[in-house]
Chains A and B, each alone.
Chain A
Amino acid sequence: MGKKYTYYPGCSSESSGSHLDVSLRAVAPKLGIELEDLNDWNCCGASVAHVEAGALPASALSARNLANARAQGNQDVLTACAACYLKTHHTNEKIRDKPGFKEKINEALGAAGQSYDGDLHVRHACEVIVNDVGLDKIKEQVTNPLEGLKVAGYVGCQTVRPFAGTEGGGDYDTYEDPEFLDDFIRSTGAEAVEFDSKTACCGGAIALMSPDRTLGLIKKILDEAKEKEADCIATPCPLCQQNVEMYQAAVNKEYGTDFQIPVVFYSQLMAVAFGMDVNKDACLDRNFISADVIAQKARK
């Protein structure tokens, strides 16, 4: 039996990033991760709530989730979404460390009869896999190694920045050249291509509100993936997955290119390599740029 974590799926798990949620839930037991859903979780506010709602209300969103998690008992709160992780982790650290902040947050939580004092540990799924699970455990589970599959490991921003190198963030990788995703890819038997854009920005929420400002950023990522002859791009971040997949058509239209590169989550690669169902578990049918190449490469 594995370790138990309170799981905060985040809003994208119910919509555009549902394939991360489903595939992660599928591979978690094989990695010894037991997920217990956070009760009545709400939106984290991501990188946009602050501008309209203000700093303290934005933090209060995370504080309510943390107060709920506290009541559930598990010490560790796990989330797979970069934005959910960043906001929740940051709020947790501020409550714990920033003088006067805990009092203000608890005054706000008090409006619903709740309280929280910052004693939980908010963790990213990737950090948990590196620090608690280990690469060996992934390799042990591989029954269908993805041999011959060339994958561009695209880490993005908020998964590692600004906490992956901090003690509270598990100190599991660097900001400039993170290795963990390439390690995951190689553990599934696939090849991780050298990918300089691994920590480039896809435009984040600005891509959603005004794509014209960010198509160039996405194009650069696609350019390198193509140059490196990657069969697919793998990422841990729901917004990265969405932007790079969803806007490929727009990039092609704007720049006259013909990108058709599947963008998947590392957990989807794992599910295929672990010999699980390519649609029910690995959710390859949820990629609208066909990711069948992954299933084809998997050696049965």
Chain B
Amino acid sequence: MSDRKAGVYLCKGCGIGDAVDMDAIEQVAVSEMKAPLCRQHDALCSDEGLKVIQDDIDGGEINQAIIAACSHRVMTDRFQFNGTQVVRANLREQVIWCHPANDEDTQMLAADQVRMGIAQAAKFDTPQPWTEGDFNRRIMVVGGGVTGLSAAREASLTGHEVLLIERADSLGGWAAKWSRRLPHRPPYRDPQDNDLGALVSEVEGDSKITVMTGALVTRTEGMPGKFTVEITRGGAAVLETVGAIVVATGWRPYDANKLGHLGYGASPDVVTGVELEEMLANGGIRRKSDGQAPKTVAFVQCAGSRDPEHLPYCSSVCCGVSIKQALLLVRSDPDAMAYIVFDELRTPGTAEEFYRQAQEAGVVFIKGKVKSVGADLTVTVDDALLGEEVPMTGLDMVVLATGMVPNSTNPDAEAEADEFQEQLKADINPAVPIPSAGFANGGEGEEPQEGFPWPWKDKTPTGGSILNLQYRQGPHIPMLADGFSDSHYICFPYETRRTGIYTCGPVRRPMGMAESADDAAGAVLKAIQAIGNAAEGAAVHPRAGDLSFPKIGYDICTKCRRCTVECPFGAIDEEEDGKPVVNITRCRRCGTCMGACPVRTIGFDNYNVQMISDMISAVEIPDEFAEKPRILILACENDAYPALDMAGINRHQYSAYVRTIPVRCLGSVSMLWVSTAIERGYDGAMLLGCKSGDDYQCHFVKGSAIAKERMSKVGETLKSMMLEEDRVISEEVSIADSARVADLIDRFAGKIGELDANPFKGF
């Protein structure tokens, strides 16, 4: 924008005017920063205050409003002027609410907040959305089990066309095999009729849903709103266009052949829960050895689950399923006895009612770990409550409650090329902060943190990818160490790290039929949102609605590939020669590419390297004799910045020497900003971001991990500048940490106070 006319508006409301000398601030804006217009008002967010700004806009006085008042996180609906650019300077939450009133340092901080706001406005352009070409609104659902069927039906009910792909020749998946299902309606006490057939009929009769059975997705390219998928059916391939993809490929039972110690294979009368289910659906429970109805049956829980040698996680439904099967057994035959041997019985919520029902029906529950099952069906239990090994003899049948393995790969398909297997290996390694970087350099030599269960350390999930994505970062949807798809569990459960592609049901985490149906609805809603936002050129979560997108200066780009490797969402592909190409609707606008770029040629219209550098430089640095150190805080806008606002709301006091700039994600932090701060004379810098690691909280999944990796190299730089390494630190902060963040700042400020002043001051 060439002809900027920025007006500065100083709000005196909420006590700001009483704690800060606003006339002095106005002097800074007008005399020092050369703002063409500056006004003070008693309450800018009032109708009268807003009118003052609107009148200036209407009169052509300004085309940018710098509002120095409360945090940019509040009053966003009030401070909106029909597209006129608004920049906010936080004088309330992070100045007067957390620092003493009418204090020299508080006054200096307030002045710097306004300086930074004016500097920001000077580099701030209104983004224009990218909406080139056609956007498709159809949703492809992969998997025709209970999850996929529910997803297809939910999507259709919202008016969307659906393409439903099922590998098998008929719909229904595993759930179609069950005779009765776990109770999901009050009073939650009895196994219920399996109503899946009705759902299959609804889907098959739905004119908005196109069902393709016996079909596999063999290739996927494009981006939200513009996916092109190749579907292969009976040897013939067809191309389809869809707007978003819901992956509901479900699960498969853990291979019981690996459970020899639990007697599987040693006796035909040791069966899995799934095998028992099939018996129940086909005439009742019979021993495989002699076809007789068993009288005494033991159910072995956690058969291969919660076992570091097999599946380290809880498969969630096995307890309920065994309770169901035991109930069906004792109800069909009053002489039969059922024993459920469990380590910990997991019957959350209403499942407790079901558990009680089984107890009332006389099912015997024994708490202990099963050590072994013999060929003679002797079950040896390490009974936790008795503190001794108890042999259970005289059993007619033993049922192993085996766990769920997510179908995050297609076990029947051929594995992709070795390089992608290597990438997958790195991807599921929690110790590798940048998995696709691991791909680039082979990902060798990395070990997960001690004690971290990593069942597939040496055993990459077998089989081919589900979608065969034609992405720079490989064909797979990124998954976690245990093989379930990676997603932000707390805030965005359905999101994968491939925008516009949503996983739900047991491929996301172990769950039963009722939960899978709910999960499907959630994923479909996210898919619909992705399609809508893509068509408008807007980001999906967590920066939902953001119209900016990364722009690459190809004249400077060295084709170093860091952006294509580090993008947590695989949004950037490469041309043959390494030229990066942003698939804009895949982008979540975190700016990790911007932070990665060594030549700083990636930026957004409203967020770029120069803008933040200018803000850092706009701060007034007192000389070393003033003994007023300055500390730069780069705070992630998702958790850390709100935590700082909360600190103000809670009136936690902390050092007034800090100057805080919100960033989209620590992944977007350019190391230039840190070096700028040091060169300008700041005495320290502090990065506040979300938790990284296998239990990450980062809203962009890998951003904080990547920042940590980059920060590990800052120490060397500081040392080469003859500065102490601990002038720059990075801390993990959650949104609830309002008291802690104030404490962290004070402790860091204390440490900085003990060091000599930065020798670059006034350099």
Give yes or no for direct A-B contact (beta carbon below 8 Å).
no
| Residue ranges of B at the interface with A (Cβ–Cβ < 8 Å) | none
